[in-house]
Amino acid sequence: MSFKSAVITFPGSNCDRDALTYLKDLTNGEVLNIWHEETSIPAVDLIILPGGFSFGDYLRSGAMASKSNIIPEIIKHSESGKFLLGICNGFQILTEIGLLKGALIQNKNLKFLGKDCFIRKKHENKFNKFIKQDQVLQIPVAHNEGNFYCGEEDLKHLNDNGLIAFEYCKGSFSNSDENINGSINNIAGITNEQKNILGMMPHPERAYQSFHGSKDGKIIIESLLS
């Protein structure tokens, strides 16, 4: 059966087209684009909440989007065990809804950060299972609020239950940073307990074609398709 997926567009989403292209190129299945005011979503295997500045980041990144009409449907989708991936602003929205622990606060240097970063997998899940344990992925980040923070209890919970999907690490050559934005324990991406929801700050949809300079972002969809 072919893999069916959807991308949600909020006002101010700006990586929705990128996510649609990423899914179309890599899944060979049907890909839907759904407007945030819709109140139903057809049955799909994966939903992506894309990056961007939903609602202009007014109030707090992701806060307004987490109250959109579509959100109850997203929660329903995730409760059925299907995959939900939040990238960048999508990750922020997932923490605002409460589907993922913690919060994304402003980068430690108080500046927007747009550059390639290096990540590796910490705990295995269906999104990252094809990644080898010592493999370093090169994927761009572009965020102002990408500094993952949570309380000690939550951090212990994430660690004890193997919910830390990705952590930032050093690249293979000199002058590459490890912790680019101040995230606690270098966390770049986490899952829920059922491990069907992933939130991550790096943008895999910007690193999968030859001209991107890195194809490392492919592996997430490849892992999910298997």
CA dist 25 to 21, 28, 116, 153, 218, Å?
Answer: 6, 6, 22, 40, 10
Q: Is 205 a catalytic residue?
A: yes
Q: How far is the CB of 186 from another protein (least distance, A)?
A: 19
Instruction: Please indicate whether residue 117 is annotated as part of the active site.
Output: no
Under the binding rule (CB under 8 A), the answer on residue 172 touching another protein is yes
Cα separation, 50 vs 89, in Å, equals 7
DSSP assignment of 3-49 equals --EEEEE-TTB-SHHHHHHHHHHHH-S-EEEEETT-S-----SEEEE
Catalytic residue from among 15, 77, 88, 150 = 88
How near is the Cβ of 140 to another protein at its closest, in Å?
5
At residue 20, what are phi and psi to the nearest 5 degrees? -60, -45
| Binding of residue 204 to another protein (CB under 8 A) | no
Using CB under 8 A, pick the residue from 3, 22, 83, 148 that binds another protein. 22
- Spatial separation of the C-alpha atoms in residues 7 and 46, rounded to whole Å: 9
53 binds another protein (CB under 8 A): yes
Residue nearer to another protein on the CB measure, 14 or 159: 14
CB of 12 to another protein, least distance (A): 5
Residue 106 binds to another protein (criterion: CB under 8 A): no
140 binds another protein (CB under 8 A): yes
Q: Is 114 in the site for another protein (CB under 8 A)?
A: yes
Set 36, 77, 143, 203: catalytic member: 203
Q: In the complex with another protein, which residue's Cβ is closer, 24 or 157? A: 24
Contact of 129 with 219, CB cutoff 8 Å? no
Cβ atoms of 8 and 34 closer than 8 Å: yes
11 binds another protein (CB under 8 A): yes
Q: Is 203 part of the annotated catalytic residue set?
A: yes
Rounded distance between C-alpha atoms, residue 197 and residue 46, angstroms: 10
Q: Tokens standing for 112?
A: 């927007």
Catalytic residue set? 88, 203, 205
List interacting residues with another protein (CB under 8 A): 11-12, 14-15, 17-18, 21-22, 35, 51-53, 55-58, 111-115, 140, 142, 144, 172-175, 203, 205-206, 211-212
